[in-house]
């Protein structure tokens, strides 16, 4: 090893990418006693695929039987149910209905039921039109039948990975943001990684770089075992009033021809419609398209007629890190001390904990540490609408965001937390500020003021009155 490297920080494991998979990974390895560093190129965690999803905790009822994906989803599902209360993370036990809207759809239901049973999801059942109407009276009259999947739940897609990472931090993991891994060399024992925040050494690398995983692998290993084909999903979020219209997640019957869309409540108390599935080359821009969004709204209204005229709160888009194949691409390179976790396409929020277990088992074939005996469980602030929110407890100071009822106390707590937000997106994901129907009309400026000095790049510059027309100071004294 070159002499200069003796002074570099050394870790057992470098996890590259702080999406939900990287955060779960950092947690698992920290709990297993490894010295972990998590490297993220964004100014905050969840800068990639993980910032925008449907937030469903899947049972795996429709996943390919016998697949690694199914195994990880079910392991992840079980672990989430075990640990969520210790983090104070929400779980909305909504259940789901796979709704048949056509005769063709209806014919597929028995197959779906059989697959669910194959996958060990036994509490699913077929529901006829009459029962469906009783369960979900707001659905359009052409809803013919459904399969009920009571185990499909809704979770908080932002607080969840944050909780995983905070537990890792509590057990001495390090996280470096704005630390894009640019290059690295492996000397047979140690990886020497160059990041935008300096160089460090790690015995093992776990590639969780999501949409950039193949490129990272190519850059550092000289080849890559998979190719990312980003698949965009656009969503429309309806205002709070709409969330009362349905109880359960309404899933489409998958078919070869149509993708179908999901209608679901969110734990934040909105109603979501989406996502689309659109192949694209671009990996960093998930652009919205007006015509597609209008299509989603129309499709939603077709399925829930009472949605007509309900205002839209937000529209967003996420990119799935899909590859040329359907399955997860978890590749182990024992002689390179490298494991790639690629192609975690559309189930990663559910599967992350299970993926981390799986990857740790591979790692444990070559390295072992002594696991943490009594894990610490940091508590996450609650953002879910079905549980008590901060504004419902006295002493919050001020409501900053009126649409989402976000308090000054919550914003202060986010900035004072072990992993303060690095940008506005991060603050939104930690508090829901500016995410409501007015999208900052009332609170945008206040949030810019409160976040001054906290973000790497300031949102707004202080105003310097211009010489010619700088007379607004006077307005305060003109009567």
Partner 1 sequence: MIESLLDYDVAIIGAGPAGLAAAIELKHQGVARVAVLERDAEAGGIPRHCGHPPFGMREYRRVLSGPAYARRNVERARAAGVELRLRHSVVALGEGGVIDAASPEGQVRIVAKRVLLATGARETPRSTRLISGDRPFGVINTGALQSYLYLERLKPFSRPLIVGSELVALSALLSCRRTGIKPVLMIEQAEKPLARWPLALFPRLCGVPFECSTRLESIEGRERVEAAWIRGSDEELRRIDCDGVLLTGRFVPESSLVRLSHLELDAGSGGPMIDQYGRCSDPAYFAAGNLLRPIETAGWSYREGRRIAALIARDLTDPLPRSHPGIRLQCLPPIRFCVPQRLVTPIGDGLAHLQLRTERPAKGILSVRGSAGVVWQRQVHLLPERRILIPLDRLRLAAGESGLTIELEENRERSR
Candidates 50-58, 119-127, 374-382, 453-461; binding stretch for ligand FAD (CB under 6 A): 50-58
Candidates 5-13, 128-136, 152-160, 233-241; binding stretch for partner 1 (CB under 8 A): 233-241
End-to-end CA distance of the chain: 75
- Binding residues for ligand FAD restricted to 58-87, rule: CB under 6 A: 58
> Is residue 293 within 8 Å of 275, Cβ to Cβ?
no
Candidates 73-81, 247-255, 355-363, 449-457; binding stretch for partner 1 (CB under 8 A): 449-457
241 binds partner 1 (CB under 8 A): yes
d(CA 96, CA 112): 13
In this structure, what token pair is assigned to residue 38?
Answer: 């998590």
Candidates 88-96, 114-122, 198-206, 282-290; binding stretch for partner 1 (CB under 8 A): 282-290
d(CA 379, CA 86): 7
Among 167, 347, 382, 451, binds ligand FAD (CB under 6 A): 347
- Beta carbon nearer to partner 1, 370 or 466: 466
425 binds ligand FAD (CB under 6 A): no
Taking the alpha carbons of 410, 412, 416, 418 in that order, is the dihedral positive or negative?
Answer: positive
471 binds partner 1 (CB under 8 A): yes
Cα dihedral: 360, 69, 18, 260 (round 10): -170
Question: Looking at the DSSP assignment, which residues form a beta bridge with residue 206?
Answer: 15, 339
Which one of ligand FAD, partner 1, none interacts with residue 55, CB within 5 to 8 A by kind? ligand FAD
Number of residues that bind partner 1 (CB under 8 A): 64
Least CB distance to partner 1 at residue 427 (A): 11
- Beta carbon nearer to ligand FAD, 139 or 208: 208
Taking the alpha carbons of 107, 112, 117, 121 in that order, is the dihedral positive or negative?
Answer: negative
> Which among 99, 166, 171 is positioned nearest to 133, based on CA atoms?
99
Query: Mask 146-185, x = binds ligand FAD (CB under 6 A)?
Result: ----------------------------------xx----
Report how far apart, in Å, the C-alpha atoms of 218 and of each of 127, 221, 228, 422, 444 are: 49, 5, 12, 29, 41
Least CB distance to partner 1 at residue 352 (A): 25
240 binds ligand FAD (CB under 6 A): no
- Binding residues for ligand FAD restricted to 3-22, rule: CB under 6 A: 16-22
- Beta carbon nearer to partner 1, 148 or 313: 313
Q: For residue 191, which phi and psi values (nearest 5 degrees)?
A: -95, 135
Q: State the residue for tokens 């920080």.
A: 9
Least CB distance to ligand FAD at residue 178 (A): 9
SS3 annotation, 67-105: CHHHHHHHHHHHHHHHHHHHHCCCCECCCEEEEECCHHH
CA atoms within 13 A on the CB side of 213: 37
- Beta carbon nearer to ligand FAD, 148 or 276: 276
> Which among 54, 86, 91, 34 is positioned nearest to 356, based on CA atoms?
34
Which one of partner 1, ligand FAD, none interacts with residue 476, CB within 5 to 8 A by kind? partner 1
339 binds ligand FAD (CB under 6 A): no
Least CB distance to partner 1 at residue 42 (A): 10
Query: Mask 281-320, x = binds ligand FAD (CB under 6 A)?
Result: -------------------------------------xxx
> Which among 108, 439, 56 is positioned nearest to 274, based on CA atoms?
56
Candidates 58-66, 73-81, 131-139, 442-450; binding stretch for partner 1 (CB under 8 A): 442-450
- Binding residues for ligand FAD restricted to 382-401, rule: CB under 6 A: none
d(CA 424, CA 279): 28
In this structure, what token pair is assigned to residue 381?
Answer: 């602030």
Burial class (CB within 10 angstroms; exposed 0-12, middle 13-18, buried 19+) of 199: middle
Residues that bind partner 1 (CB under 8 A): 237, 239-241, 284-290, 293-294, 309-316, 391-399, 402-403, 405, 423-424, 437-442, 444-446, 448-449, 452, 457, 459-466, 469-472, 475-476, 478-479
Residues in contact with ligand FAD by the rule CB under 6 A: 16-22, 39-42, 47-50, 52-56, 58, 180-181, 208-212, 216, 233, 275, 318-321, 344-350
């Amino acid at each position: 090893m070159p002499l200069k490297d003796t002074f570099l920080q050394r870790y057992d494991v470098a996890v590259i990418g702080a999406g939900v998979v990287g955060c779960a990974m950092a947690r698992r390895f920290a709990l297993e006693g490894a010295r972990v560093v998590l490297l993220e190129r964004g100014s905050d965690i969840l800068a990639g695929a993980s910032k925008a999803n449907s937030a469903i905790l899947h049972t795996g009822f429709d996943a390919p039987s016998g697949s690694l994906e199914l195994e990880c989803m079910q392991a992840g599902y079980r672990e989430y149910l075990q640990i969520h209360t210790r983090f104070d993370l929400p779980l909305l036990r909504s259940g789901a209905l796979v709704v048949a809207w056509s005769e063709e759809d209806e014919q597929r239901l028995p197959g779906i039921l059989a697959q669910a049973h194959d996958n060990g999801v036994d509490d699913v059942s077929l529901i006829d039109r009459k029962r469906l109407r009783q369960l979900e009276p707001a659905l359009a009259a052409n809803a013919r039948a459904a399969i009920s999947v009571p185990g499909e739940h809704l979770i908080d897609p932002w607080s969840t990975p944050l909780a995983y990472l905070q537990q890792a931090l509590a057990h001495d993991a390090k996280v470096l943001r704005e630390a894009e891994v640019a290059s690295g060399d492996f000397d047979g024992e140690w990886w020497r990684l160059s990041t935008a925040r300096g160089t460090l050494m790690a015995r093992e690398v776990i590639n969780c770089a999501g949409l950039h995983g193949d490129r990272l692998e190519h850059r550092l290993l000289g080849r890559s075992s998979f190719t990312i084909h980003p698949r965009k999903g656009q969503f429309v979020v309806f205002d709070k009033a709409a969330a009362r219209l349905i109880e359960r997640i309404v899933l489409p019957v998958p078919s070869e021809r149509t993708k179908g869309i999901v209608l679901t409540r969110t734990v934040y108390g909105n109603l979501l419609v989406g996502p689309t599935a659109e192949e694209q080359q671009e990996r960093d821009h998930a652009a919205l398209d007006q015509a597609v969004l209008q299509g989603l709204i129309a499709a939603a209204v077709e399925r829930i007629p009472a949605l007509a005229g309900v205002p839209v709160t937000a529209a967003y888009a996420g990119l799935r890190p899909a590859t040329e194949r359907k399955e997860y691409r978890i590749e182990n390179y024992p002689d390179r001390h490298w494991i790639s976790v690629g192609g975690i396409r559309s189930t990663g929020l559910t599967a992350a904990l299970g993926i981390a277990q799986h990857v740790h088992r591979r790692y444990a074939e070559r390295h072992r540490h002594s696991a943490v005996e009594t894990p610490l469980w940091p508590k996450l602030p609650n953002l879910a609408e079905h549980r008590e929110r901060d504004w419902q407890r006295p002493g919050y100071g001020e409501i900053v965001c009126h649409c989402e009822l976000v308090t000054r106390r919550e914003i202060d707590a986010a900035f004072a937390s072990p992993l303060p937000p690095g940008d506005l997106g991060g603050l939104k994901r930690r508090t829901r500020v500016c995410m409501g129907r007015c999208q900052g009309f009332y609170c945008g400026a206040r949030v810019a003021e409160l976040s001054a000095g906290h973000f790497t790049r300031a949102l707004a510059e202080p105003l310097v009155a211009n010489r010619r027309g700088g007379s607004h100071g006077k307005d305060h004294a003109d009567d």
